[in-house]
C-alpha cells in the first residue's frame, strides 16, 4: 500500500510544484502593481523569477513533446489515443487563456484611456496659462505705467531723475533702476532703504532690449519669493541725447506664486506620470504576456500528464491485447479500484486466465492425441497380417496410409497423402479398378455400412488379388466423419488353395485309376506262372 501511494506522490509532485510557482508568480505580480515603488524595487527579481519558470516549463514541455513524438513514430500502444486526447485538452485550455490574455492586453491600452479620458493635462496647462496670463496682465499694467512715465524723462538731467523714480515706487515696484547700455546704474529708487545693493538684472535682458523696446521676465529670489522685472528703452537729457534702460522690479503676490508653482509642479508631475503610465502599461502587457506564456506551457504540460494518466488503462488494455495476440496469455493488467476501467481490467485478466487454462488443456489433449497417433502409427506399421490401411476424411481425401499399403499396391501412396482418392488414378493409373471399387461402395461407408469385396489388379509384376474391407469412422468432436479401408494381398493364398485343390484332384484320380489295375495284375501274374515254362523270354 505504501509503494503505490509513494509512486502517486512522486508522480503528482512536479505538477503541484509548478502550479505553486505559478501561483507565487501571480501573488508577486499583485504585490508589484500595488505601488510604483514596489515595481521599481522588485521588478528585476520578478523578471528573473519569471524567466527561470519559463525556462523550466519550456524544457519540460519540449521533453514531453519529444517523448510523445517518439511514441507516435514507434507506434507504441495508446500513443494515437493519447495524442488525440491531448489535442482536446489543449483546445479546452489554450483557447480561454489566449482569449482572456489578448483581451486583457487590448483592454490595458487605448480602450481604458478612452473610457477614462479626462482633460487633466489640458486643464493643468490651461491653469498654468491662466496664471501666466494673470502675471502678463499685471505686467502689462506695469508696462503701461512705465511707458506713461517714459516721456517724463525727456529733457531731464540725470540729477533730476532719482526723485522721479522715488515717486514711481508708488505703483508697487520694489526697486527701479536707470542703467546705461554698459550696465552701469545711473539712478535708482528702492523700497527697502536698508538694502545696500540693488538686484541687478540678468545680461539676457540687455541682449533682449537690443532687439525690442520692452522685455518682461520672472526672477526667483531664494526659495520662497518671486519677482517680475519689466525693462524699457528710454532717453533722457536736455535734447534726449542719452540712451538708457529703465527697469522696474515687482514682487509677485505670495498666493499667486504658490498657485502658479503648484500648477506648474502638477503639470510636471502629470507629464512624468503620463510617461511612466505608458511604461507601466507596457510592463503590464509584458507581464500578462508572460503569464499567458507560462499558463500556456503549464497547460501543455498538464495536458501531457492528464492525457497519459487518463489513457493509461487504455494503454494497458492495448498492451495486454497485443501480448495475448502474440501468444502471451500470462499477461496481467493492473486493476485499480479508483476508476471505471477496473471491471474491464478484471474481465480481461479473467479472460486471459481462462484462455491460458484452455491452452493448457488443449496442449495436454494435443499431447495425448499425439501419443495416440504415434501409438496408432506403430500399430499400423507393425500389423502382424501386413494389411494395408488407408484413412479418408468425409470429402474422400487421403489422410493416412501405412507402408504396407504402398507395398501391397506397389505404388508410392505415402506421397499421395492430402489428395482426393478419386484423383489418384491420374498419377497411378494401375489403381483405377481399385479406386472405382471404393467409389462404388463410398455411399455405403457414408451411411455407416461395412462392405467387403475382392478385386484383381494387373501390375507390372503380374496379377494381384486383393480382399478389401471398408467402414466408417466414429464422428469426431468437430462433427466430421471419415472412413477406413483395409485390404490384404491374397494372391499367394488363392494360388496355394488352387494348387492344393488340383493336388487333391490328382490324388483322387490316381486312386480311381489304381483300383481297376489290381485284378488285371493278379491275372497277369497267374498266367505268368502257368505259362512260365512254355513261353520264351521274348514273349
CA distances from 139 to 86, 248, 400 (A): 78, 10, 138
| Least confident stretch, 25-39, 143-157, 418-432 | 25-39
User: Would you state the pLDDT for residue 240?
Assistant: 79
Average pLDDT over residues 57-84: 75
Distance CA 263, CA 258 (A): 9
Q: Which three cell numbers stand for residue 438?
A: 471404393
Q: What is the pLDDT of residue 189?
A: 81
User: Which residues, in sequence order, are CB contacts of 527 under 8 Å at separation 6+?
Assistant: none
Q: What is the pLDDT of residue 536?
A: 54
238-288: pLDDT as tens digits: 787 788 888 888 776 666 666 666 766 776 776 766 666 666 677 677 777
Of residues 228 and 534, which shows the higher confidence score? Answer: 228
HSE (CB half, 13 Å, CA atoms) of 485? 31
In the block, cell 491485447 appears at 321
Q: Which one has a higher pLDDT value, 259 or 428?
A: 428
Of 112-121, 232-241, 259-268, 513-522, the range with the lowest mean pLDDT is 112-121
184: helix, coil or strand? coil
Give me the pLDDT at residue 411, please: 77
The dihedrals phi and psi of 470, each to the nearest 5 degrees, come to -135, 150
Over the Cα atoms of the chain, what is R_g?
68
| Mean pLDDT along residues 90-102 | 77
Sign of CA dihedral 291, 294, 298, 299: positive
pLDDT per residue as tens digits for the range 308-349: 777 777 777 777 777 777 777 777 777 766 666 677 777 778
With beta carbons less than 8 A apart as the criterion, state whether 316 and 36 touch.
no
User: CB within 8 A of 334, min separation 6: which ones?
Assistant: 316, 345
186: pLDDT strictly greater than 70:
yes
Question: Which distant-in-sequence residues (6+ apart) come within 8 Å of 239 by Cβ?
Answer: 155
Q: How far is CA 193 from the centre of its chain?
A: 93
C-alpha cell at 454: 475382392
pLDDT at 1: 43
Amino acid at each position: 500500500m505504501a509503494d503505490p501511494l509513494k509512486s502517486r506522490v512522486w508522480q503528482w509532485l512536479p505538477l503541484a510544484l509548478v502550479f505553486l510557482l505559478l501561483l507565487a508568480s501571480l501573488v508577486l505580480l499583485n504585490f508589484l502593481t500595488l505601488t510604483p515603488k514596489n515595481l521599481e524595487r522588485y521588478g528585476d527579481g520578478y523578471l528573473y523569477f519569471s524567466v527561470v519558470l519559463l525556462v523550466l516549463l519550456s524544457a519540460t514541455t519540449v521533453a514531453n513533446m519529444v517523448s510523445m513524438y517518439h511514441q507516435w513514430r514507434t507506434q507504441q500502444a495508446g500513443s494515437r489515443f493519447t495524442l488525440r486526447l491531448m489535442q482536446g485538452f489543449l483546445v479546452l485550455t489554450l483557447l480561454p487563456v489566449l482569449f482572456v490574455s489578448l483581451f486583457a492586453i487590448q483592454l490595458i491600452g487605448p480602450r481604458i484611456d478612452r473610457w477614462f479620458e479626462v482633460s487633466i493635462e489640458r486643464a493643468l496647462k490651461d491653469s498654468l496659462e491662466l496664471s501666466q496670463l494673470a502675471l502678463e496682465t499685471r505686467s502689462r499694467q506695469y508696462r503701461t505705467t512705465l511707458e506713461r512715465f517714459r516721456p517724463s524723462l525727456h529733457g531731464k538731467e540725470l540729477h533730476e531723475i532719482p526723485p522721479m523714480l522715488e515717486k514711481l515706487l508708488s505703483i508697487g515696484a520694489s526697486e527701479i533702476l536707470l542703467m546705461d547700455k554698459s550696465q552701469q546704474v545711473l539712478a535708482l529708487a528702492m523700497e527697502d532703504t536698508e538694502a545696500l545693493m540693488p538686484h541687478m538684472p540678468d545680461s539676457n535682458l540687455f541682449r533682449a532690449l537690443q532687439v525690442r523696446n520692452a522685455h518682461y521676465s520672472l526672477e526667483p529670489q531664494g526659495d520662497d519669493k518671486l519677482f517680475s522685472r519689466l525693462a524699457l528703452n528710454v532717453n533722457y537729457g536736455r535734447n534726449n541725447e542719452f540712451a538708457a534702460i529703465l527697469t522696474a522690479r515687482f514682487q509677485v503676490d505670495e498666493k499667486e506664486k504658490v498657485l502658479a508653482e503648484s500648477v506648474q509642479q502638477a503639470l510636471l508631475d502629470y507629464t512624468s506620470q503620463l510617461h511612466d503610465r505608458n511604461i507601466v502599461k507596457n510592463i503590464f502587457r509584458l507581464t500578462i504576456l508572460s503569464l499567458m506564456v507560462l499558463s500556456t506551457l503549464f497547460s501543455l504540460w498538464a495536458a501531457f500528464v492528464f492525457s497519459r494518466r487518463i489513457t493509461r488503462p487504455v494503454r494497458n488494455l492495448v498492451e495486454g491485447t497485443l501480448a495475448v495476440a502474440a501468444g502471451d496469455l500470462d499477461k496481467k493488467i493492473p486493476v485499480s479500484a479508483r476508476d471505471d476501467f477496473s471491471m474491464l481490467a478484471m474481465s480481461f485478466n479473467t479472460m486471459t486466465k481462462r484462455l491460458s487454462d484452455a491452452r493448457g488443456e488443449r496442449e495436454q489433449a494435443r499431447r495425448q492425441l499425439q501419443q495416440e497417433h504415434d501409438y496408432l502409427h506403430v500399430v499400423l506399421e507393425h500389423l502382424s497380417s501386413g494389411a494395408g490401411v488407408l484413412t479418408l476424411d468425409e470429402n474422400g481425401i487421403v489422410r493416412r496410409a501405412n507402408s504396407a499399403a504402398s507395398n501391397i499396391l506397389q505404388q508410392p501412396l505415402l506421397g499421395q497423402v492430402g489428395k482426393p482418392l478419386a484423383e489418384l488414378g491420374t498419377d497411378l493409373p494401375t489403381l483405377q479398378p481399385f479406386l472405382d471399387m471404393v467409389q462404388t461402395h463410398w455411399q455405403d461407408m457414408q451411411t455407416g455400412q461395412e462392405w467387403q469385396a475382392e478385386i484383381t489388379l494387373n501390375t507390372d509384376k503380374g496379377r494381384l488379388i486383393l480382399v478389401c474391407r471398408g467402414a466408417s469412422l466414429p464422428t469426431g468432436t468437430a462433427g466430421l466423419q471419415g472412413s477406413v479401408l483395409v485390404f490384404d494381398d491374397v494372391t499367394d493364398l488363392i494360388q496355394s488353395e488352387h494348387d492344393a485343390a488340383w493336388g487333391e484332384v490328382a490324388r483322387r484320380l490316381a486312386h480311381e485309376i489304381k483300383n481297376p489295375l489290381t485284378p488285371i495284375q493278379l491275372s497277369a501274374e497267374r498266367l505268368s506262372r502257368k505259362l512260365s515254362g512254355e513261353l520264351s523270354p521274348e514273349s
